């Protein structure tokens, strides 16, 4: 069995060994396999602020929502922050260091792997554009390959983000500026547009501040609850989360709704 697994790994896993792209119940499709490379970074625990900074995820977000299945994305995958929250299935290929049986792991893009122009793209500058690269939380990398490998060739594909519970909104800002961290987004995992309104009021289009944070320069009545209308960045599906933020809401707190991109 081990020899057979090694043969498959060295062959690059022909597609006949893997299911064809499918359309799950979320309506978001599973994409075809593409080539990239993967490394690992940060604490061996795979948890903490290191794993979400460029997207805006906090250490508690990582621990409570995404756990150790995260990765920093190279510039083409990060896509100026639009790649934050997207989910990828990754498998190790064509390396003697691939874990026997070549299991795959599903990760969420939560950070940026910045370019290092002082290193050659094929010798240390792994995240230099136009390379597509995943710098993974160590526990996820170890599911794919031995630690000693350092870097391995992988194949990846976009998959639906399967989330538990509704979309979460963490509120920041001041009376005239609402900044919202949007977490736990299912389906495509990314956000194309988001609008906010007081319960019964008119929709106010928000703009992206960075990563998964969006803002509205508007004075909102805290005696009324807030509702959010979210359009997915990839599939353009729209949902309204109307029950997450109750009246007398406060900045510095996170609120979770009952619906998501199922």
Q: pLDDT band for position 28 (50/70/90)?
A: confident
- At residue 164, does pLDDT exceed 70? yes
Q: What is the pTM of this model?
A: 0.87
pLDDT tens digit sequence for 17-27: 333 333 444 56
pLDDT tens digit sequence for 77-118: 999 999 999 999 999 999 999 999 889 999 999 999 999 999
What's residue 49's pLDDT? 84
Q: Show the domains of the chain with their CATH numbers.
A: 34-158 (2.40.40.10), 167-257 (2.60.40.760)
Whole-angstrom Cα Rg for the chain: 20
DSSP one-letter string for 89-152: EEEE-S-TTBPTT--EEEEEEEEE----TTSBTTBB-TT-TT--EEEE-HHHHHHHB-GGG-SE
Interatomic CA distance for residues 110 and 86, integer angstroms: 8
What's residue 26's pLDDT? 54
Tell how strand 34-40 and strand 152-159 pair up: antiparallel
With H, G, I as helix, E, B as strand and everything else as coil, classify residue 214: strand
pLDDT tens digit sequence for 171-198: 999 999 999 999 999 999 999 999 999 9
- At residue 3, does pLDDT exceed 70? no
User: Average of pLDDT values for 127-146?
Assistant: 97
Mean of the per-residue pLDDT values for the chain? 89
Find the largest Cα–Cα distance for the chain. 66
Q: Walk across the sheet containing 226-232 and list its strands.
A: 204-205, 191-198, 226-232, 238-245
Residue with tokens 């396999």: 33
User: Average of pLDDT values for 250-261?
Assistant: 96
What's residue 112's pLDDT? 97
Q: pLDDT band for position 143 (50/70/90)?
A: very high
Q: Are 140 and 232 in contact (CB under 8 A)?
A: no
The percentage of the chain sitting over the pLDDT mark of 70, rounded to a whole number, equals 90
Residue with tokens 């710098």: 135
What's residue 181's pLDDT? 96
């Amino acid at each position: 069995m081990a020899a057979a697994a090694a043969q498959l790994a060295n062959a690059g896993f022909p597609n006949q060994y893997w299911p064809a792209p499918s359309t799950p119940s979320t309506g978001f499709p599973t994409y075809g396999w593409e080539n990239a490379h993967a490394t690992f970074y940060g604490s061996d625990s795979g948890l903490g602020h290191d794993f979400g900074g460029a997207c805006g995820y906090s250490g508690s977000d990582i621990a409570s929502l995404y756990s150790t299945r995260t990765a920093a994305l190279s510039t083409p995958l990060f896509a100026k922050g639009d790649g934050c929250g997207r989910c990828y299935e990754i498998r190790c290929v064509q390396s003697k260091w691939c874990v026997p049986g070549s299991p795959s792991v599903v990760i969420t893009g939560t950070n940026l792997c910045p370019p290092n122009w002082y290193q050659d793209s094929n010798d240390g500058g792994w995240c230099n554009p136009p390379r597509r690269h995943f710098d993974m939380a160590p526990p996820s990398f170890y599911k794919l390959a031995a630690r000693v490998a350092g870097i391995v060739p992988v194949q990846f594909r976009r998959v639906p983000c399967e989330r538990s519970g509704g979309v979460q909104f963490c509120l920041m800002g001041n009376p005239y500026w609402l900044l919202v961290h949007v977490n736990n987004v299912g389906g495509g995992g990314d956000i194309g547009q988001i609008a906010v309104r007081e319960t019964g009021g008119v929709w106010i289009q928000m703009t992206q501040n960075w990563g998964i944070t969006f803002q509205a320069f508007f004075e909102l009545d805290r005696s009324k609850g807030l509702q959010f209308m979210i359009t997915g960045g990839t599939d353009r599906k729209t949902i309204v989360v109307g029950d997450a933020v109750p009246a007398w809401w406060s900045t510095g707190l996170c609120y979770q709704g009952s619906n998501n991109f199922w």
